[in-house]
Structure formats: structure tokens, C-alpha cells
Structure 1
């Protein structure tokens, strides 16, 4: 096995909360040395204070912080203090990547912007996350961007109110965009020797992820509406049904052949031959009728037995799982980060690269635990 791909890379993380730190952990999982630079004036990453009622009041490594900070060391600096800013500049001389999340203009005020750091290290790649881009000085908050990008408007049941996603999805989407941009910049540096600025905003990452909902409006001229779990273009897809045992499942029927198999398994072969149901195009137009009939049929079935039949015939369907049930799956167990007696973390990386050894990560760092003069 080869060593982790970024074994000798130094990443400086000048970011907090979820988006930037997720990128930092991504590089740590690929073997990079990641130093989390925390704001000494505010006692570090704000998520060190985002604690559940079940967590000790005095912990500085709560569950939320653990979501994106495995494999790092923590160094607290106040950039308004000249000596501490110089300490950062010394690290920048060695660094390959900086991950920053500042409102436009704030990095310049602190003298930690790309142009300043590039003058110290021309090979530096600087990834900068903003809420709305370089020309808009508003701070970016996931819940606000969920609202402004249409996600909250689309999420929820018909006739109900807008609903925020249960995770900070805009932060996660932004992190993925920044990872891609930084990897492109690293490839370019291999070819040219030059560093680069990579910028991404929460709002544009969110708009990019609207996918078919965006093109339903832009191409087909249909304004997307709140539909619960239903899909605007496919029926039945995403719809939730309750079995006689009280447990629920979801269907994801992508073509007419799968629909015919579904009807056969449910003992309603003739349903697939009805013109109003025979094709996806017709099922979309008769959505309510299809869902009502399927609800009746599935309501007569035991969930586990039905799922076994559906999976045996390659009909896309799955159980609605609780989070404990999710982590009981072997595939989810493979996503866990483990180290000694520390509580498990979750990997940022879900892909596998042949011949690449996985880095062994340390648990999330205590505040300001970095004391060495240089990165190991």
C-alpha cells in the first residue's frame, strides 16, 4: 500500500463551524497535517460551545465540533497581536493550502487575505468561503441560505410551511465545491508551480445543487412547489408508504418496467396496464390516484417481507430508518473513524482509491493543544 496521498502537505484552517472545517478534515483523512488556527479573542471555533443538553457544560469537544475536526491540531492566535500574526506568517511559509471563511473585507483587515499570504508563499493555494461572494459583505448562515436558495420553500408537505433541512446542507454543499476547487488548483500547481485563489459562496453552491428543480423552472417553465417526499418528474419516487406492521418504506420507481414488477409483487398486475398508470408520464398526471392505490396495497403487506421481494426483483425500495438503524448497517460502520477510547467520528471521504493507505486520524483536538515549533 502507498502512503496517504497528502502525507507531507500542510493545511492551515482559518475557518470555523462546518463548511471550512469539513474541508480541513477531508485533507486530514488524505494524510495532510492540518492545523486549525482558532481565534484566541473569541475562545476558538464557536461550535465548541454548541452543546446538547446531555453533554457536560465544561467540554470543549462537543458532538457538533466532532463532526468536522478529526485529525487536526489546534493553535489559538489573535491576529490583532503583531507577534501572533507573525507566528501565522511563519507557518504560511511552510503551508500548501489555507482554508478561510471570512466576510468580504475582513481577511484584509486582519492581514490574512490571499494577496498578503501569497507575498509570503507564492505557491500557496487559498480557499475562501463567503456567504454571497466577494461583492456582498453579508455574513453567510446556513439556515438563511437554505431560505434564500429555495430549499426551505421546497422542503415540507403540500399546504404546510417551509421546513429547514435537518443538517446544515448548504455548508456541506459548499465544502464539496471548495474541495473540488482546491484539488483543481493543486493539479494546476503541479503543472505550473503557481499558487491560486479558490472562492466559493454558500448561495452559489446551493443554487448549483437545485439541479432538476432549477431546470423544471428554467427549461419547462414550471415553478416548483412544495410536494413533501414526492418527486415532480417521477411517480412513484420518494413517496412514503406505511405497511400493516406500522413500519414505513419508500419507493424509487424510475421506469415503467420497474412499475410493472412492483404491481406484480403487490398482486395487482392489471394496475400497470391501465392507461392512466402505464407510463411515467401518465402517472405524473394521475399522481394522487397512483399513490392512493399503492397506499392501499402496501398497507396490506409486512414491510420486511415486501422489501425482500422488491429487492429480489430489483425494484428500488428501502426502509425508513432511524439514525441508530442507519449506523447498524455494515456500510455505515465502514464510515466511522475510530481511535482508542474516543467516541467515533464520521468520515468526510466516502470514496475509495485503489492502493492508497488510509490515514490514522487523531480525535478532534482540545482547544489550543498545538505546542510544537513545527508540524511533525
Structure 2
């Protein structure tokens, strides 16, 4: 008998583990053991599945760094026992969780795949079964005794994405996620097609789990008419250590004197300012237009084609690691887990 993959299924909460009270129409969590009972097809997969469930299922809107540490710790604790991990998670903040876990789990040599659903598993037209079954199947893939997927991913609606490249784009369609700047790692159809050329290279170093995250971050989405007082309140706040500026187009921003002076003051205070485009796809190209030249001159960090979710995760990770000011910009602008070009 060949060596079957062992998969640990971690249920954190989310729609996939909900049932509807048809009298009130309200969704509520149900016993996780019943989730597996509702999908007998899982017995046909060529792998062993064990489960772990949060005692209090979490709506992903309540996800925070403590929960991320808990998930990463579970992977660390069971890393030698299992060949892969599937994390069931609410879709609303799944891209944030997938992004931060990619940084927390350094030298990952096994799959950690996040998935969930738009409809509860008991609904007639649910997407939960396909997402769960295929996520487990992908997590169990091996070649020459080694896992095929060796990074943190997100699986939803027939596509496997690099987790830190994703964004939730739709609250109603089954195709809830997109990876605008990086192609899918695998696609599920009649056959399961893995795009090996896009996978991260294998690390030969042992897994290292980083549990220190610093969430003293502000995200400022620019809009025409935004005032000095609003930006100053966030950017210059004593508790804020880093600011993500969601700029226009290819990284463009107002050239008003007050705007430039605020950024100068923030950087002088030792804060890190990151330029990320608010467009769904594309990349920041500071200096390409006059309206971004001043940001380049001020040495604002170039977020390139990183998503806001991954930028938040990367800042929490780097700040938590205590990365020094002299190298912070260089390290942020370097791809660490395939999150940017």
C-alpha cells in the first residue's frame, strides 16, 4: 500500500461551517463533525483527513493577529505529522490571512491552503463541497514523495492562487477572489492542472514560524478632495509606525505642498510610508509621471504590484521582526514570498 498523504483540516469558522435557521433566516455555526458527515465524497479521496476546530467558530470579520498566531502555531505543532493543511476560513478577510500566514511561515515545504464558501454547506446550490474537496485533493498532491504545492495558497471556484496575491472582489458570485497580477497556480476542471512554472522554489531550510506581528499601521485611500487634517490625523498619529498610501493609477498622488510636507514629516519621525496603487491590477511606477516624482524623491517605499492585503501583512511582519530603518525600504521592496515582482 502506497504512502497516503495525511491532511489536517483546520476549521476557524466562516460560511462553509454554517447552517441556516429557516425560521429567522439567520446563519449560525454548527458542530464541525457534522461538516464532514455532510460530505461523504471525502472518503473517496486518496488521503487521510484529521480535523481541528476552533471551539468558538470565528466570523472572519473578527480575525486579528492573535488568531493568525494560533493558526500558524497549529501548523508548527503538527508540521511533522501531516503532509498538508487546509484552513477553512470566512471569505471576507481570507486574503489578509493568506497573506500574513505566507510571511509567518518561512521556509514552508508543505501546502497550507485556505478555502471557504459563499453559501453554507447545507444549501442546495452551495459551493462549499467543491471548494473543500478540491482544496484537500490539491493539498495531498505529491511527486517523488514530496508535496507538489509548498506555499500558502487560497483555493476558490476552480482556481488555486498564491495566497498573498489575492483580493476578494465579489460578495455575491461564487468567483469571489481574483489574483490580478499573478496567474493561478492550479486550475480544476475535468482534470486538475498544476502550473508548475509559477510555483515557489523549494526551500531546504527548516520551517521557521514568526509569531511577532506589529499592527500599528494605517491605510489611507486617497480621493479627490481629501483634506490635510484627515491625512495628518492618521499619518502623524503617535501610535502609527507605518502608513500605506493607496494612490491613483501607477502610484500618483497630489503635488500640493502640504501633502509633500506631511510625508516628509512622517518619514522624519521614523515612520515607513508605502505607495500602493488603489487599482485592482497593475503596478506602482514612481517617477513615471510628474505626480509621483515627489514621492520617489522623498524615498517613499515602492509597493510595486503588491496588494493592499499583502502590504498590510508584510508591514506587520517586518515591524514585528524589528527590521532596522536603514534596510527596511530595501527589504520591503524585495519579494520575500512571491508577493510582488
Q: What's the TM-score once normalised by structure 1's chain length?
A: 0.27
> Which of the pair has the greater relative contact order for Cα pairs under 8 Å at 6+ separation?
1
More strand by share: 2
More helix by share: 1
Task: Tell which structure's C-alpha radius of gyration is larger.
Answer: 1
